[in-house]
Structure 1
Amino acid sequence: MKKEIVNQIQEAQRVPYRINPRGNMPRHILIKLKKTKHKERIFKAAREKQQVTYKGNPIHLTADLSAETLQARREWQDIFKMGIPDHLTCLVRNLYAGQEATVRTGHGTTDWFQIGKGIHHGCILSPCLFNLYAEHITRNAGLDEAQAGIKIAGRNINNLRYGDGTTLMAESEEELKSLLMKVKEESKKVGLKLNIQKTKIMASGPITSWEIDGETVETVSDFIFGGSKITADGDCSHEIKRRFLLGRKVMTNLDSILKSRDITLPTKVHLVKAMVFPVVM
């Protein structure tokens, strides 16, 4: 078995010793095997002997590192070339390998099915992974090196990213279309699709209608970005009125509390400062 397993090992990575109050921890070695059956035999031996050695050194097997588990999709390989350590790469791959889900309906649950795309909803790691995707797309699209964009304080800026939204900026229609198509192509390479229905165009001057993949991109005169209303004419009076209306709505919702005699005045002041001022300001 030893010769067979050694011949089947494609990759072995060492994780350095870690010091704890009890002394040195045994060395961990991450292994990548060609076939699942070899992994199963190793883990069976580990359960029976309570210890596995690699080249005479004791190791701990802490994860299921079969070839299927470690098989990375091409987009994973590209993204994790951004300087992330190999052992963290393996950890994330294992977290997403072999995903299954079921759908609950009014008549029960469906059969389990494999998930090949997407990130875990509610996982604290998901925003970081999505940011890696966004950074990977931006780099490969060459937005940082592109001449297209607007000049602010001597710097050329052509994209603003917040959450899962990206805003592209350019001084001409041709430059903006070029940036958009670059982002679209790079997104497609990593399994992401540009949602044309949610894509909007705002221009300070006249602009022709666009069509991408047979769908017309909507042209708007204003949109909400970062919680503020941005208009094509740059007039901020619309945003000021909008903020006052939002503040009035919050005050209306607090009306019963503000009129209550059981709540002290300092408490009411604190509520207004905490719930109304942030909306208006």
Structure 2
Amino acid sequence: MIFAARQLQEKCQEQNRELYTTFVDLTKAFDTVSREGLWRIMSKFGCPDRFILMVRQFHDGMTARVLDDGEASEAFPVTNGVKQGCVLAPTLFSIMFSAMLSDAFQNSSLGIRLRYRTDGKLFNLRRLQAVTKIKETVLRDLLFADDCALNAGSEQEMQASMDKFAAACDNFGLLINTKKTEVMHQPAPKAQHQVPTITVKGQKLQAVDQFTYLGSTLSRSVTIDIEVNCRVAKASSAFGRLLTKVWDRRGISLVTKLKVYRAVVLTTLMYASETWTVYRRHARQLNHFHTICLRRLLRIRWQDKV
């Protein structure tokens, strides 16, 4: 989904379009799902009755306790929401979320419109201006579990989308967290940036220049400069936390240290790097950090000759 978000940003720039994206945060999304409504939605989507019954039995009889100052309360029934930590929970929520969006945007053409070719010749932008073999698609939302990003091509469309989305949330028992819901405006090339004014039930949403989406930083400048800086900072923090416990311990072999380095530090540094458009300055910055870490692991000083 991170790749889709970055591609959407790049295609809007290539096709000289502005992009408005609202990153919606739902308050306790998994805990507020109506189970009876979920079973009806699954049946409407064609799920077998035996499968629905099996999933239903997973959730029947759920109880919870509250721990206060070391003392647990009496058990009370839990009748709403899907199981936290269950592998089925994101899928079940996505089914309910898809039904909600279908209800919100039925017979609506809101979204960002992008052109594409049907013959696979995508890299020559002039071909997108041709009359034949060109189609236009509308991208309205990006969904991953309870993370939702709504897209539009103008501020008016973005406001209309949020109005429909908020009304659907009320119908399905979901609550939008307006304090954490943020909107980002990416202007068209050579166009002036304008701070968007989007409201939800009279409350103005915060406008941002960058947003951390699924752990990766998206910027209205459509570069990965900020993302690379964040990756290096987080990898440096991960490396520093293991300084005395792993890297400086002489009882741990170099092979083990390198395995830990690959598993902890490199994975943090290169998270979602498959979605990046990398330039030389980014490669130099990443290689510089990588070299510093390896020098520390191998105990090579600057004055040493290798």
Question: TM class, shorter-chain normalised?
Answer: 0.5 to 0.7
Higher relative contact order (CA 8 A, sep 6+): 2
Identity among equivalent pairs (%): 23
3-state secondary structure, aligned to 1:73: helix
Larger strand proportion of the pair: 1
Matching of residue 90 in structure 1 with residue 78 in structure 2 = no
CA distance in structure 1 between the partners assigned to 2:239 and 2:37 by the alignment = 52
CA distance in structure 2 between the partners assigned to 1:107 and 1:266 by the alignment = 44
Provide closer, same or farther for how the CA distance between residues 143 and 260 of structure 1 changes in structure 2, counting only shifts above 3 A.
farther
For the Cα contact (< 8 Å) 1:223–1:231, is it kept in 2? yes
For the Cα contact (< 8 Å) 1:143–1:158, is it kept in 2? no
CA distance in structure 2 between the partners assigned to 1:210 and 1:280 by the alignment = 34
1:182 deviates by: 2.1
Provide closer, same or farther for how the CA distance between residues 106 and 270 of structure 1 changes in structure 2, counting only shifts above 3 A.
closer
Provide closer, same or farther for how the CA distance between residues 225 and 76 of structure 1 changes in structure 2, counting only shifts above 3 A.
same
Q: Which residue of 2 aligns with 1:201?
A: 183
Matching of residue 136 in structure 1 with residue 118 in structure 2 = no
For the Cα contact (< 8 Å) 1:75–1:189, is it kept in 2? no
CA distance in structure 2 between the partners assigned to 1:253 and 1:116 by the alignment = 42
Q: Which residue of 2 aligns with 1:224?
A: 212
Give the partner amino acid of 2:48.
Answer: P
3-state secondary structure, aligned to 1:262: coil
For the Cα contact (< 8 Å) 2:181–2:206, is it kept in 1? yes
Provide closer, same or farther for how the CA distance between residues 113 and 261 of structure 1 changes in structure 2, counting only shifts above 3 A.
closer
Give the partner amino acid of 2:199.
Answer: E
Provide closer, same or farther for how the CA distance between residues 135 and 196 of structure 1 changes in structure 2, counting only shifts above 3 A.
same
Provide closer, same or farther for how the CA distance between residues 99 and 279 of structure 1 changes in structure 2, counting only shifts above 3 A.
closer
Matching of residue 273 in structure 1 with residue 262 in structure 2 = yes
Cα offsets for 1:60-95 (capped at 9, x unmatched): xxxxxxxxxxxx734532343111011222333444
For the Cα contact (< 8 Å) 2:112–2:152, is it kept in 1? yes
Provide closer, same or farther for how the CA distance between residues 73 and 272 of structure 1 changes in structure 2, counting only shifts above 3 A.
closer
3-state secondary structure, aligned to 1:230: strand
CA distance in structure 1 between the partners assigned to 2:261 and 2:173 by the alignment = 46
CA distance in structure 2 between the partners assigned to 1:206 and 1:250 by the alignment = 37
Superposition pairs for residues 78-117 of structure 1, below 5 Å? 78-97=41-60, 99-106=62-69, 108-117=71-80
CA distance in structure 1 between the partners assigned to 2:221 and 2:205 by the alignment = 20
3-state secondary structure, aligned to 2:229: helix
Listed as ranges, the gaps of 5+ residues in structure 1 are 1-71
CA distance in structure 2 between the partners assigned to 1:273 and 1:195 by the alignment = 37
Cα offsets for 1:6-32 (capped at 9, x unmatched): xxxxxxxxxxxxxxxxxxxxxxxxxxx
Provide closer, same or farther for how the CA distance between residues 206 and 103 of structure 1 changes in structure 2, counting only shifts above 3 A.
same
Matching of residue 252 in structure 1 with residue 240 in structure 2 = yes
Q: Which has the greater radius of gyration? A: 1
Cα offsets for 1:118-161 (capped at 9, x unmatched): 22223333222112112212222237963422427454322111
1:229 deviates by: 0.9
For the Cα contact (< 8 Å) 1:141–1:182, is it kept in 2? yes
Provide closer, same or farther for how the CA distance between residues 155 and 278 of structure 1 changes in structure 2, counting only shifts above 3 A.
farther
1:107 deviates by: 7.7
Q: Which residue of 2 aligns with 1:190?
A: 172
Q: Which residue of 1 aligns with 2:87?
A: 124
For the Cα contact (< 8 Å) 2:232–2:269, is it kept in 1? yes
Q: Which residue of 1 aligns with 2:31?
A: none
TM-score by length of 2: 0.61
3-state secondary structure, aligned to 2:205: strand
For the Cα contact (< 8 Å) 2:142–2:148, is it kept in 1? yes
Q: Which residue of 1 aligns with 2:143?
A: 161
Matching of residue 180 in structure 1 with residue 195 in structure 2 = no
Provide closer, same or farther for how the CA distance between residues 108 and 273 of structure 1 changes in structure 2, counting only shifts above 3 A.
closer
CA distance in structure 1 between the partners assigned to 2:182 and 2:163 by the alignment = 14
For the Cα contact (< 8 Å) 1:196–1:212, is it kept in 2? yes
Give the partner amino acid of 1:191.
Answer: G
3-state secondary structure, aligned to 1:276: helix
CA distance in structure 2 between the partners assigned to 1:119 and 1:155 by the alignment = 33
